[in-house]
Amino acid sequence: MPITNTSAAITPASQPLFMLKSQSIGWGQKTVLEALDLKIEEGEKVAVVGKSGAGKSTLIHTLYQQHPEKIAYCSQEYGLVPSLSVFHNIYMGQLDQHHFAYNLVNLLRPIKSQITKIQPLAETLGLQAHLFNPAERLSGGQQQRVALARTLFQNKDIFIGDEPISSVDEVQSEHILALIMSHHNTTILTLHNADLALRFCSRIIGIRNGKIELDCATQDLSASQLRSLYQD
């Protein structure tokens, strides 16, 4: 009986985009999250929810470190250069795509083609009137939108955001979340607003007491179930 080589017919299962396997994570000597098992596939829209200090930021930063070159990461620290204009702070999202001389020229006298690229994004986020004002003159909510615009300007396939709507009102929050979702194939966001998490994300990961207490599809959850994560 002939021997048939079947190895070529076997297609290996694709690897998750992000994976943690019995991993404990934290800062320095302090463990924040214990023995996590987590998989996130390409194309998922994930909200990470829980009380302040639960470890949400620690979790998403750990995920970011798995593929930093592929991810547009928006942290709670805006990281703006206060003395530079809104335009220049947004432009920094693509700073690594140009050589030093080009960046220097653009710093001294904004290049028209770059202004043309950035203006629509600034307008979408309500920053058009402030495009050439120093970032230090803006309100907290406006500065957060500049940081978000810089992150979006990176044009990455994956977006990870740590409370990207914490300093804006509800109407702006909905607009910003819709913008993030439309620009990225995979998104992972920490959010405090349970209603917005349910509306814009397809999967909810809930953290409490250093563990993942909830991980399921949005369609199987209610806002009241999510709010229970914030109770002692």
User: Per-residue pLDDT tens for 73-122?
Assistant: 999 999 999 999 999 999 999 999 999 999 999 999 999 999 999 999 99
As to burial, measured by CB atoms within 10 angstroms (0-12 exposed, 13-18 middle, 19+ buried), residue 13 is exposed
Question: Which residue's structure tokens are 């990281």?
Answer: 79
Say what the pTM is. Answer: 0.89
Question: With bands split at pLDDT 50, 70 and 90, how would you rate the model's confidence at 194?
Answer: confident
Instruction: Burial-class residue 2 by CB neighbours within 10 Å (0-12, 13-18, 19+).
Output: exposed
Question: Is 229 a residue whose pLDDT tops 90?
Answer: no
Determine the pLDDT at residue 225: 82
Strands (DSSP E) along the chain, which ranges?
A: 18-27, 30-40, 45-49, 71-74, 158-162, 186-190, 203-208, 211-217
Q: What are the domain boundaries of the chain?
A: 16-230
Under 8 Å CB-to-CB from 65, ≥6 apart: which residues? none
pLDDT tier, 29 (very low <50, low <70, confident <90, very high otherwise): confident
The amino acid at residue 218 is T
* β-pair partners for 159: 72, 187
Residues 145, 146, 149: CA angle, nearest 5 degrees: 85
Crossing angle of helices 140-152/112-124, nearest 10°? 120
Q: How confident is the model at residue 3, as a pLDDT?
A: 36
pLDDT attached to residue 226? 82
**For residue 30, what pLDDT is reported?**
85
- CATH number for the segment(s) 16-230: 3.40.50.300
Nearest-angstrom CA–CA distance, 44 and 86: 31
| Mean local confidence (pLDDT), 149-176 | 94
